[in-house]
Amino acid sequence: MIRPDFHEANRLSWNAATVAHNRHKPDQAGFLRGGGSTLFPEETGLLGTVQGKTVLHLLCNSGQDTLGIAALGAEVTGVDISDEAIAFATRLSEESGIAATFERSDVYPWLEAAVNAGRRFDTVFCSYGALCWLSDLGTFLRGVAGVLNPGGRFVCVEFHPVAMIFDEQGEPKYDYRMAEPLAWDDGIRDYVADSCGGLTPSGPVAPAEPFNNPHPCYEFQRGLGDILGAVILAGLTLREFHEYEFTNGWKPFAEMKSLPGRRWTSPDGKPSIPLMFGLVAERA
């Protein structure tokens, strides 16, 4: 069931967090103009060649990855629920000189309207902490299938549900899947600051004042079987699936081993666990 009440609370929390996150990232427009990209090899590898293709980036946040895809030659539309994120993304597009279209909306009414209007794309993309904000995964993926061209692909790189079992100290605390959303009274936090440069490829800046989000947020925890099952039930054919024992950018636990390329993995002496997954699914 779609829960617009939770989505609205999350919109407010993201509006506040987006401002905090972007204050850590210096001269993003200059970074992009100079050929910089926030995309990791996992995304570009799964996306494949996008030159001349139409790409829909759902839950695009502030548009950095959207513009990275556009710089590869795609015609890209980014959609996000946050007013602050879309406003920032639009400015970043103008200031970087990389063309993309950004539209502010909750993803559910956006997809419904797009399907009804006959809008179609070669690729639909989402990544990194996107699926946890969706109250109804089945409806979302049916909407994704509805806006794909025949032969079009849904590409997703996401944090692994197994990693979400643990708290910040790496101790098991949460159920693998939850019937009700997980409520965070302190809202979306400044995880950019906590990731020790992993999420600031344009260069680190001095830490800003501590951030306290006044708006709570709600996340939806699902198992990997729930996610893959919803992909299949939406009528999409799974073409690729990968699990990764590292994270890109985000540092999920206090004790992590740093890897080259702004990656984090389990520290020496501790078992490795899957921390991300990537998938490609195709519409017939």
Please give the chain's pLDDT, 284 residues, in tens.
999 999 999 999 999 999 999 988 889 999 999 999 999 999 999 999 999 999 999 999 999 999 999 999 999 999 999 999 999 999 999 999 999 999 999 999 999 999 999 999 999 999 999 999 999 999 999 999 999 999 999 999 999 999 999 999 999 999 999 999 999 999 999 999 888 888 999 987 767 678 999 999 999 999 999 999 999 999 999 999 999 999 999 999 999 999 999 999 999 999 999 999 999 999 99
User: What is the model's pLDDT at position 64?
Assistant: 97
Domain region containing 243: 4-283
Chain-centroid distance of CA 157 in Å reads 8
User: What is the model's pLDDT at position 206?
Assistant: 66
User: What is the model's pLDDT at position 208?
Assistant: 67
- For the chain, how many structural domains are there in total? 1
Residue environment code for 35-65, b if the CB has 16+ CB neighbours within 10 A, otherwise e: ebbbbbebbeebbeebeebbbbbbbbbbbbb
User: What is the model's pLDDT at position 24?
Assistant: 87
User: What is the model's pLDDT at position 195?
Assistant: 86
CATH number of domain containing 199:
3.40.50.150
Helices (H), the chain: 4-22, 28-33, 41-47, 64-71, 83-96, 107-117, 137-147, 191-194, 224-233
Supply 98's token pair: 């990389």
